Structure 1
Amino acid sequence: MALLSLEEAKAQINSKSDVDDVELLAYIDSVTAVIEEFIGPVEPREVTEQHDAGYGRRVLVLRTMPVLSLTSVTPVLAGGISYPVDGLTVDGASGEVRRQNGGTFRGLLDVAVQAGRPAVTPTINLSARMLVQHLWRTQRPSRGGGLAGGGDDYSASTPIPGFGFAVPNRVLELLQPYRLPPGVA
Protein backbone atom coordinates (compact mmCIF):
# COMPACT_ATOMS: atom_id res chain seq x y z
CA MET A 1 0.00 0.00 0.00
CA ALA A 2 1.43 3.37 -0.98
CA LEU A 3 0.25 6.85 -0.10
CA LEU A 4 -0.14 7.58 -3.78
CA SER A 5 0.66 6.10 -7.14
CA LEU A 6 2.83 7.50 -9.91
CA GLU A 7 -0.33 8.06 -11.95
CA GLU A 8 -1.93 10.09 -9.14
CA ALA A 9 1.21 12.21 -8.70
CA LYS A 10 1.43 12.84 -12.46
CA ALA A 11 -2.22 13.90 -12.53
CA GLN A 12 -1.59 16.27 -9.60
CA ILE A 13 1.31 18.00 -11.35
CA ASN A 14 -0.45 17.87 -14.74
CA SER A 15 2.18 15.72 -16.41
CA LYS A 16 1.46 13.33 -19.26
CA SER A 17 5.12 12.67 -20.07
CA ASP A 18 7.25 9.77 -18.81
CA VAL A 19 10.44 11.86 -18.93
CA ASP A 20 10.45 12.73 -15.21
CA ASP A 21 9.03 9.46 -13.85
CA VAL A 22 12.20 8.36 -12.03
CA GLU A 23 12.58 11.74 -10.34
CA LEU A 24 8.88 11.91 -9.52
CA LEU A 25 9.05 8.46 -7.91
CA ALA A 26 11.76 9.82 -5.58
CA TYR A 27 9.38 12.62 -4.56
CA ILE A 28 6.58 10.11 -3.96
CA ASP A 29 8.84 7.98 -1.76
CA SER A 30 10.05 10.99 0.24
CA VAL A 31 6.62 12.35 1.19
CA THR A 32 5.72 9.17 3.10
CA ALA A 33 8.26 9.90 5.85
CA VAL A 34 7.11 13.53 6.12
CA ILE A 35 3.42 12.64 6.43
CA GLU A 36 4.10 9.75 8.82
CA GLU A 37 6.12 12.08 11.06
CA PHE A 38 2.91 14.03 11.60
CA ILE A 39 0.26 11.25 11.72
CA GLY A 40 2.16 8.02 12.44
CA PRO A 41 2.54 5.00 10.17
CA VAL A 42 0.22 4.82 7.20
CA GLU A 43 1.77 1.96 5.27
CA PRO A 44 1.54 -1.20 7.45
CA ARG A 45 4.81 -2.45 8.89
CA GLU A 46 6.16 -4.56 11.73
CA VAL A 47 7.49 -2.46 14.63
CA THR A 48 9.17 -3.74 17.80
CA GLU A 49 9.47 -1.51 20.86
CA GLN A 50 11.16 -2.21 24.17
CA HIS A 51 9.18 -1.46 27.34
CA ASP A 52 10.32 -1.68 30.96
CA ALA A 53 7.35 -2.83 33.03
CA GLY A 54 9.53 -3.03 36.13
CA TYR A 55 7.87 -4.97 38.96
CA GLY A 56 4.40 -4.55 37.61
CA ARG A 57 2.55 -2.32 35.19
CA ARG A 58 -1.09 -2.75 34.20
CA VAL A 59 -0.79 -0.90 30.89
CA LEU A 60 1.95 -0.67 28.31
CA VAL A 61 1.63 2.45 26.16
CA LEU A 62 3.16 2.03 22.74
CA ARG A 63 5.10 4.85 21.13
CA THR A 64 4.09 3.86 17.60
CA MET A 65 0.48 4.44 16.62
CA PRO A 66 -1.91 3.62 15.07
CA VAL A 67 -1.67 -0.13 15.71
CA LEU A 68 -3.39 -2.69 13.48
CA SER A 69 -2.57 -5.76 15.58
CA LEU A 70 -0.39 -7.07 18.38
CA THR A 71 2.15 -9.67 17.25
CA SER A 72 4.03 -10.63 20.44
CA VAL A 73 5.07 -9.56 23.92
CA THR A 74 8.25 -11.36 24.91
CA PRO A 75 10.91 -10.92 27.59
CA VAL A 76 14.21 -9.34 26.60
CA LEU A 77 16.09 -11.23 29.32
CA ALA A 78 16.24 -14.99 29.71
CA GLY A 79 13.83 -16.27 32.34
CA GLY A 80 11.36 -13.42 31.86
CA ILE A 81 7.62 -13.82 31.36
CA SER A 82 6.14 -14.10 27.88
CA TYR A 83 2.55 -12.90 27.35
CA PRO A 84 0.46 -14.72 24.72
CA VAL A 85 -1.34 -12.21 22.48
CA ASP A 86 -4.66 -14.05 22.79
CA GLY A 87 -4.71 -12.94 26.44
CA LEU A 88 -4.03 -9.28 25.61
CA THR A 89 -5.98 -6.39 24.16
CA VAL A 90 -4.58 -3.45 22.24
CA ASP A 91 -6.32 -0.15 21.59
CA GLY A 92 -5.08 0.70 18.11
CA ALA A 93 -5.71 4.43 18.40
CA SER A 94 -4.17 5.03 21.84
CA GLY A 95 -1.54 2.28 21.74
CA GLU A 96 -2.57 0.89 25.14
CA VAL A 97 -1.85 -2.81 25.70
CA ARG A 98 -3.59 -4.56 28.63
CA ARG A 99 -3.91 -8.08 29.93
CA GLN A 100 -7.50 -9.33 29.58
CA ASN A 101 -7.41 -10.82 33.08
CA GLY A 102 -6.48 -7.44 34.61
CA GLY A 103 -3.00 -8.65 35.61
CA THR A 104 0.25 -6.76 35.33
CA PHE A 105 3.21 -6.93 32.99
CA ARG A 106 6.64 -7.46 34.55
CA GLY A 107 10.21 -7.01 33.39
CA LEU A 108 11.90 -5.71 30.27
CA LEU A 109 9.72 -6.61 27.27
CA ASP A 110 9.90 -6.52 23.49
CA VAL A 111 6.46 -5.61 22.12
CA ALA A 112 5.98 -6.35 18.42
CA VAL A 113 3.03 -4.88 16.55
CA GLN A 114 1.74 -4.38 13.04
CA ALA A 115 1.53 -0.58 12.88
CA GLY A 116 -0.17 1.49 10.21
CA ARG A 117 -3.63 1.97 8.78
CA PRO A 118 -5.94 -0.52 7.07
CA ALA A 119 -6.27 1.83 4.09
CA VAL A 120 -5.05 5.20 2.84
CA THR A 121 -7.96 7.58 3.31
CA PRO A 122 -8.81 10.03 0.51
CA THR A 123 -7.68 12.92 2.74
CA ILE A 124 -4.28 11.37 3.43
CA ASN A 125 -3.90 10.61 -0.29
CA LEU A 126 -4.81 14.19 -1.19
CA SER A 127 -2.31 15.48 1.37
CA ALA A 128 0.42 13.34 -0.21
CA ARG A 129 -0.51 14.52 -3.72
CA MET A 130 -0.47 18.16 -2.61
CA LEU A 131 2.89 17.74 -0.88
CA VAL A 132 4.42 16.16 -3.99
CA GLN A 133 2.99 19.03 -6.06
CA HIS A 134 4.38 21.62 -3.65
CA LEU A 135 7.86 20.09 -3.63
CA TRP A 136 7.79 19.61 -7.41
CA ARG A 137 6.75 23.22 -8.02
CA THR A 138 9.53 24.65 -5.85
CA GLN A 139 12.09 22.89 -8.08
CA ARG A 140 10.62 23.79 -11.46
CA PRO A 141 10.76 27.16 -13.19
CA SER A 142 7.42 28.87 -13.42
CA ARG A 143 6.14 30.38 -16.67
CA GLY A 144 7.31 33.77 -15.43
CA GLY A 145 10.91 32.57 -15.28
CA GLY A 146 11.49 32.38 -11.51
CA LEU A 147 10.99 29.49 -9.17
CA ALA A 148 7.40 28.52 -8.60
CA GLY A 149 6.27 28.61 -4.99
CA GLY A 150 7.17 32.24 -4.35
CA GLY A 151 4.20 34.54 -4.09
CA ASP A 152 1.48 31.95 -4.68
CA ASP A 153 -0.76 29.93 -2.39
CA TYR A 154 2.02 27.39 -1.77
CA SER A 155 4.32 29.96 -0.21
CA ALA A 156 5.11 29.77 3.49
CA SER A 157 5.87 33.10 5.10
CA THR A 158 7.03 31.47 8.34
CA PRO A 159 8.47 28.03 8.91
CA ILE A 160 6.23 25.44 10.56
CA PRO A 161 7.85 24.08 13.76
CA GLY A 162 9.36 20.68 13.02
CA PHE A 163 8.61 20.94 9.30
CA GLY A 164 10.27 24.17 8.13
CA PHE A 165 9.13 25.49 4.76
CA ALA A 166 8.82 22.07 3.07
CA VAL A 167 5.22 21.35 4.14
CA PRO A 168 2.56 23.91 3.27
CA ASN A 169 -0.04 24.74 5.91
CA ARG A 170 -2.83 23.37 3.70
CA VAL A 171 -1.28 19.87 3.88
CA LEU A 172 -0.96 20.03 7.67
CA GLU A 173 -4.55 21.29 7.97
CA LEU A 174 -5.82 18.31 5.96
CA LEU A 175 -3.84 15.93 8.19
CA GLN A 176 -4.98 17.54 11.46
CA PRO A 177 -7.77 14.96 12.19
CA TYR A 178 -5.15 12.18 11.97
CA ARG A 179 -2.47 13.93 14.04
CA LEU A 180 -0.61 11.97 16.69
CA PRO A 181 -1.23 12.94 20.32
CA PRO A 182 1.38 15.28 21.82
CA GLY A 183 4.52 13.47 22.91
CA VAL A 184 4.11 10.58 20.46
CA ALA A 185 6.73 10.22 17.75
Structure 2
Amino acid sequence: MALLTLEQAKSAVSIPATTTQYDDELEEYVEALTEVIEAFVGPVTPREVVEQADSRGQVLVLLTTPALSLTSFTPVATGGSSVDVAGLHLNGASGTVTRLDGADFYGGPWTVTYQAGRASTPKTISVAARMLLQHWWRTRYGAARGNPGGGEDFDVNEPVPGFGYAIPNRVLQLLEPHRRPPVVA
Protein backbone atom coordinates (compact mmCIF):
# COMPACT_ATOMS: atom_id res chain seq x y z
CA MET A 1 0.00 0.00 0.00
CA ALA A 2 2.86 2.38 -0.82
CA LEU A 3 2.31 5.99 -1.86
CA LEU A 4 4.82 5.71 -4.71
CA THR A 5 5.60 2.96 -7.16
CA LEU A 6 9.22 1.99 -7.69
CA GLU A 7 9.11 3.73 -11.08
CA GLN A 8 7.78 6.95 -9.51
CA ALA A 9 10.46 6.77 -6.81
CA LYS A 10 13.23 6.34 -9.38
CA SER A 11 11.92 9.28 -11.35
CA ALA A 12 11.73 11.46 -8.22
CA VAL A 13 15.41 10.89 -7.40
CA SER A 14 16.63 10.86 -11.03
CA ILE A 15 17.58 7.19 -11.25
CA PRO A 16 17.15 5.67 -14.72
CA ALA A 17 14.26 3.20 -14.91
CA THR A 18 16.62 0.48 -16.15
CA THR A 19 18.96 0.78 -13.15
CA THR A 20 18.17 -1.85 -10.50
CA GLN A 21 21.09 -1.25 -8.12
CA TYR A 22 19.00 0.85 -5.70
CA ASP A 23 15.62 -0.91 -6.00
CA ASP A 24 15.62 -2.54 -2.56
CA GLU A 25 16.78 0.62 -0.82
CA LEU A 26 14.22 2.75 -2.66
CA GLU A 27 11.40 0.36 -1.79
CA GLU A 28 12.40 0.57 1.87
CA TYR A 29 12.39 4.37 1.70
CA VAL A 30 8.96 4.37 0.05
CA GLU A 31 7.55 2.06 2.74
CA ALA A 32 9.00 4.31 5.44
CA LEU A 33 7.71 7.55 3.92
CA THR A 34 4.27 5.98 3.50
CA GLU A 35 4.19 5.20 7.23
CA VAL A 36 5.36 8.71 8.14
CA ILE A 37 2.87 10.50 5.89
CA GLU A 38 -0.03 8.26 6.96
CA ALA A 39 0.83 8.93 10.61
CA PHE A 40 0.20 12.60 9.84
CA VAL A 41 -2.81 12.41 7.47
CA GLY A 42 -4.34 8.99 8.16
CA PRO A 43 -4.54 6.19 5.62
CA VAL A 44 -4.21 7.27 2.01
CA THR A 45 -4.72 4.03 0.11
CA PRO A 46 -7.96 2.19 0.96
CA ARG A 47 -7.71 -0.74 3.35
CA GLU A 48 -9.96 -2.79 5.58
CA VAL A 49 -9.94 -1.94 9.29
CA VAL A 50 -11.45 -4.10 12.02
CA GLU A 51 -11.74 -2.61 15.49
CA GLN A 52 -13.74 -2.95 18.64
CA ALA A 53 -15.88 0.11 19.35
CA ASP A 54 -18.24 1.15 22.09
CA SER A 55 -20.71 3.96 22.52
CA ARG A 56 -22.93 5.15 25.32
CA GLY A 57 -25.03 7.51 23.25
CA GLN A 58 -25.93 8.59 19.75
CA VAL A 59 -22.41 8.83 18.33
CA LEU A 60 -19.77 6.16 17.89
CA VAL A 61 -16.28 7.28 16.84
CA LEU A 62 -14.02 5.14 14.68
CA LEU A 63 -10.30 5.26 15.41
CA THR A 64 -9.00 5.31 11.84
CA THR A 65 -9.89 8.25 9.64
CA PRO A 66 -10.71 9.08 6.98
CA ALA A 67 -13.24 6.27 6.66
CA LEU A 68 -14.82 5.42 3.32
CA SER A 69 -17.59 2.96 4.14
CA LEU A 70 -18.96 0.61 6.79
CA THR A 71 -18.91 -3.11 6.05
CA SER A 72 -20.31 -4.70 9.21
CA PHE A 73 -21.33 -3.81 12.74
CA THR A 74 -21.62 -6.90 14.94
CA PRO A 75 -21.80 -7.31 18.71
CA VAL A 76 -18.75 -8.66 20.50
CA ALA A 77 -20.82 -10.54 23.08
CA THR A 78 -23.11 -13.37 22.10
CA GLY A 79 -26.74 -12.43 22.37
CA GLY A 80 -26.11 -8.78 21.46
CA SER A 81 -28.04 -7.24 18.61
CA SER A 82 -26.41 -6.55 15.26
CA VAL A 83 -26.83 -3.19 13.62
CA ASP A 84 -27.58 -3.03 9.89
CA VAL A 85 -25.02 -0.70 8.28
CA ALA A 86 -27.73 0.54 5.90
CA GLY A 87 -29.32 2.22 8.95
CA LEU A 88 -26.13 4.10 9.86
CA HIS A 89 -24.62 7.38 8.71
CA LEU A 90 -20.83 7.61 8.45
CA ASN A 91 -19.06 10.95 8.48
CA GLY A 92 -15.87 9.72 6.87
CA ALA A 93 -13.70 12.73 7.65
CA SER A 94 -14.36 12.63 11.40
CA GLY A 95 -15.03 8.89 11.67
CA THR A 96 -18.32 9.45 13.48
CA VAL A 97 -21.15 6.97 13.08
CA THR A 98 -24.75 7.81 13.94
CA ARG A 99 -27.98 5.92 13.53
CA LEU A 100 -30.32 7.25 10.85
CA ASP A 101 -33.31 6.71 13.15
CA GLY A 102 -31.71 9.01 15.76
CA ALA A 103 -31.65 6.30 18.45
CA ASP A 104 -28.78 5.63 20.81
CA PHE A 105 -26.36 2.79 20.27
CA TYR A 106 -27.02 -0.02 22.74
CA GLY A 107 -25.98 -3.65 23.12
CA GLY A 108 -22.29 -3.05 22.44
CA PRO A 109 -19.37 -3.22 22.33
CA TRP A 110 -19.24 -4.02 18.62
CA THR A 111 -16.73 -5.28 16.15
CA VAL A 112 -16.80 -2.72 13.37
CA THR A 113 -15.37 -3.56 9.96
CA TYR A 114 -14.92 -0.67 7.55
CA GLN A 115 -12.86 0.70 4.70
CA ALA A 116 -10.48 3.51 5.64
CA GLY A 117 -8.40 5.65 3.32
CA ARG A 118 -9.19 7.92 0.40
CA ALA A 119 -10.97 7.23 -2.86
CA SER A 120 -8.10 8.96 -4.65
CA THR A 121 -4.77 10.34 -3.51
CA PRO A 122 -4.78 14.14 -3.28
CA LYS A 123 -2.09 15.70 -5.46
CA THR A 124 -0.54 17.52 -2.50
CA ILE A 125 0.03 14.18 -0.75
CA SER A 126 1.63 12.72 -3.89
CA VAL A 127 3.91 15.74 -4.24
CA ALA A 128 4.76 15.62 -0.52
CA ALA A 129 5.72 11.94 -0.86
CA ARG A 130 8.08 12.73 -3.75
CA MET A 131 9.61 15.68 -1.89
CA LEU A 132 10.15 13.61 1.25
CA LEU A 133 11.81 10.85 -0.76
CA GLN A 134 14.08 13.40 -2.44
CA HIS A 135 14.99 14.88 0.94
CA TRP A 136 15.81 11.53 2.50
CA TRP A 137 17.66 10.30 -0.59
CA ARG A 138 19.85 13.40 -0.85
CA THR A 139 20.66 13.51 2.85
CA ARG A 140 21.24 9.80 3.46
CA TYR A 141 25.02 10.14 3.40
CA GLY A 142 25.29 13.58 5.01
CA ALA A 143 28.23 15.79 4.17
CA ALA A 144 30.01 12.91 2.41
CA ARG A 145 27.63 13.36 -0.56
CA GLY A 146 29.04 16.81 -1.29
CA ASN A 147 27.74 20.19 -0.23
CA PRO A 148 29.28 19.88 3.27
CA GLY A 149 28.53 23.53 4.03
CA GLY A 150 24.76 23.02 3.78
CA GLY A 151 22.53 25.51 2.07
CA GLU A 152 20.93 22.97 -0.25
CA ASP A 153 17.20 23.25 -0.88
CA PHE A 154 16.62 20.07 1.13
CA ASP A 155 18.26 21.26 4.34
CA VAL A 156 15.95 21.48 7.35
CA ASN A 157 17.25 24.17 9.66
CA GLU A 158 14.55 24.06 12.32
CA PRO A 159 13.28 20.83 13.82
CA VAL A 160 9.54 20.29 13.37
CA PRO A 161 7.84 19.41 16.68
CA GLY A 162 7.21 15.67 16.75
CA PHE A 163 9.15 15.08 13.53
CA GLY A 164 12.65 16.41 14.23
CA TYR A 165 14.77 17.09 11.16
CA ALA A 166 13.49 14.17 9.08
CA ILE A 167 10.50 16.01 7.62
CA PRO A 168 11.05 19.31 5.79
CA ASN A 169 8.58 22.06 6.63
CA ARG A 170 7.51 22.26 2.97
CA VAL A 171 6.35 18.63 3.11
CA LEU A 172 4.32 19.28 6.26
CA GLN A 173 2.79 22.37 4.67
CA LEU A 174 1.59 20.27 1.74
CA LEU A 175 0.11 17.70 4.12
CA GLU A 176 -1.54 20.22 6.48
CA PRO A 177 -4.92 20.43 4.65
CA HIS A 178 -5.25 16.65 5.05
CA ARG A 179 -4.04 16.41 8.65
CA ARG A 180 -5.84 13.98 10.97
CA PRO A 181 -8.25 15.57 13.40
CA PRO A 182 -7.07 15.54 17.01
CA VAL A 183 -8.03 12.48 19.03
CA VAL A 184 -10.19 13.15 22.05
CA ALA A 185 -10.22 10.57 24.81
How high is the sequence identity, in percent, across the aligned residues?
52
Matched, 1:142 2:142: no
Q: Distance in 1 between matches of 2:139 and 2:2?
A: 23
Residues 145-173 of structure 1, C-alpha deviation per residue, up to 9 Å, x if partnerless?
x4x9x432322223222212111111000
TM-score by length of 2: 0.89
TM-score by length of 1: 0.89
1:18 maps to which residue? 20
Deviation of 1:49 (Å): 2.2
Structure 2 unaligned residues grouped into runs of 5+: none
Q: Distance in 1 between matches of 2:166 and 2:74?
A: 40
2:72 maps to which residue? 72
1:121 maps to which residue? 122
Superposed, 1:101-116 pairs within 5 Å as 101-106=101-106, 107-116=108-117
Superposed, 1:1-185 pairs within 5 Å as 2-16=2-16, 17-54=19-56, 57-106=57-106, 107-140=108-141, 141-144=144-147, 146=148, 150-183=150-183
Deviation of 1:28 (Å): 0.9
**Which moves more between the two structures, 170-179 or 157-166?**
157-166
Q: Which runs of 4+ in 1 moved over 3 A?
A: none
Deviation of 1:103 (Å): 1.2
Q: CA RMSD in A?
A: 1.7
Structure 1 unaligned residues grouped into runs of 5+: none
Q: Distance in 2 between matches of 1:155 and 1:143?
A: 13
